[in-house]
Every structure is written in structure tokens, then in C-alpha cells.
Amino acid sequence: MKTMSKNGRKGTATWLLSFFTLLAVVNVFNATIQLNLNGAASTVFFRVFNADLGGLNAEVYLWASLIVAFLLFGVTSFSVYRGLPVDPQMLQRIGKVEENLATNSNMIENTQIGFFRKLEENQKTNDEVFKKINLGLDDMKKEASDNLATQKAALGKMEEESRRNAEVMKRQATELAKLKKHVEKLGREPTQRPKLTSRTRLEHVKSIPPRLATKLNQMQTTNVSDLLAADAVILAQRASEMVETIANVQARAQLLMVPGIDEENADLLVKYGITSRKELANQDPVQLYRGIVGIAKTYVDQGKLSANKVPDVEDVSSWIKQAQL
């Protein structure tokens, strides 16, 4: 009877140890799930009914559950094999428990491997993202630096150009002041004889080619007065010449009747667009001088005009005054 009672107590203790071992294994599963879902830094809280038993780090909870499970498993195995008769059902149950423990251990190991592999992949992904961000920031910094350098160079050029323009404007203002001063100092010019008069015959006009003068004489246009009185279109048709040619001849002849204007001066004025004495009389001396002096310099460069024949502002002002008489 005592042996049976002793064996009964051992059996009860063994079943209790097995139950607690199973609870420990369940806690291992729970800790593994919490670790995968919430991460290693999460906290697992324990409650019994409404009583709060506190919290424990998920990773610590996992390792504590594993240690307790293996300890209980060892104690249970020792209790089973210590002096108990061999029970085939018990051995089968122990084998299933061992098999479950091995399966659970493999699951836990695979879960840990997957967890740490996921952590490594996330770390690698984050490193690549930060690397790309750093490269992008470096490129943006370089681009901004290049843009600033380009803008600085452009501003330097603009500043230099502005300085040059200011110097040019200053020189032009000085020149204009001198020109106006010269114009103001000009007195009444002595009366000069014009190159042409209304009675000058066309063959004596240097700006009219002899061939054209002959044609005009044949049409009863023999002097400057006849030339200026005739219509340029009709003369051009009758002489088989271009209207522009006849108009230029008339313009030069009219300008040559102004005292002080010679053939070169008349050519410059016609080139500038002055085609009559009236137009010349309405010109501003400084503006007209600026216009024809540029044409004169071009003629000098081309060899069409001598440098000493380039008119000055006093000459231009004299022409305008003579045209106004």
C-alpha cells in the first residue's frame, strides 16, 4: 500500500511537472510571437484576473521562458525515469513531448534566424537609403555652388560692363558739352559762294555724269533751275534712268546751292537722308554731325574720302544756318 501511495505521489508530481513544462513551452511561443510582432525593445505585461503583475522586456521574456522550459523539462524527465516502472504509454507521451520540444526549438531557432536576417536586410536598406541621400545632398551642394559661382561671374561681368558704359556715357556727355559749347560760340559765318546757282549748266555739275547731262540737255533741261523744277519720275522715264538716280542728282544739286557745301559734303548728307535744303535747315547740329561723321569715317576707311575732308561740328552748324537763310 505504501509503495502504491508513494508511486501515486510520484505520478502526481510528474504530471504537475509536465503541466508546468507545457505552460513554459506556451510562454516560449507567446514570447516568440511578441518579439516578432513588436520588436526586441517592446515590453510584455502580465495580468492575473484584474491584478497587474508588471512588465518584462520581450527578448528577456523569451530567454527566461526557454530556460524555465528546459529546466522543467529536465526535472520532469528526471522524475519520470527515477525509479518508475517503464510504462509504454508514458514513454510514448514523453517521446511526443520531446518531439514537440524539438519542433518548438526548431521553430524558435528559425524565427530568430528570420528575425535577425530581417534586421540585417533592414539595416542594409537603411544604409543604402542614407547613402543615396548623402550623394544627393552632395550633388545638390555642388550644383548650388556651381550656380553661385556662375551668378557671381555674371554679376562681375555686368558690373564691369556697367562701369564701361558709365565711362562711355561720361565721355559722350563731355563730348556733347564741348560740341554744344562750340555751337554756342559760333558767330555769324561770313557769306560764302555756293558751288552751284540756279543758272549753272548741268554739264558743269561734277556730280552729274556727262552722259546724263547730255540726255537732260536734249530734253530741254539745261541748268540747275530746270533740273529742280522737273519731275523726277518723268525725267527718269524720258532719260531711261532709274527714278532714284534722278532724285539723288536733284538732291545733290539742291544741297550744292547751300554756301559751304561741296560735292563730298553733299554726298554725305544724301547718304544720311537729307535730300533738300528745307530738310537741312530743320536739323539739329549735334545730331546731324553725329550721323554724317560715322558715314565719313566709313568712307575714309574705304578710301572714298580723305581724312582732312571729314566735316566738324562747326561746318555742320554753318550749313544749317546757311540753309535757313
Non-local CB neighbours of 216 within 8 Å, separated by 6+ positions:
202, 208, 222, 226, 227, 235, 239
C-alpha cell at 88: 509504454
Residue 188's pLDDT band, with cuts at 50, 70 and 90, is very low
pLDDT digits 0-9 by tens, 48-66: 556 665 677 777 777 887 8
Non-local CB neighbours of 255 within 8 Å, separated by 6+ positions:
261, 265, 266, 269, 270, 274, 276, 277, 280
Q: Is 256 a residue whose pLDDT tops 90?
A: yes
Its pTM stands at 0.43
Q: For CA atoms 21, 22, 23, 25, give the dihedral sign.
A: positive
CA dist., res. 277 & res. 259, Å (int): 11
Residue 117's pLDDT band, with cuts at 50, 70 and 90, is confident
Q: Which residue has the higher pLDDT, 84 or 96?
A: 96
Closest CA to 265 of 311, 224, 298: 311
Q: Is 12 a residue whose pLDDT tops 80?
A: no
Residue 279's pLDDT band, with cuts at 50, 70 and 90, is very high
Domain range annotation of the chain: 2-120, 202-324
Mean pLDDT for 168-191 is 65
The pLDDT of residue 187: 47
pLDDT digits 0-9 by tens, 136-153: 777 787 887 888 888 888
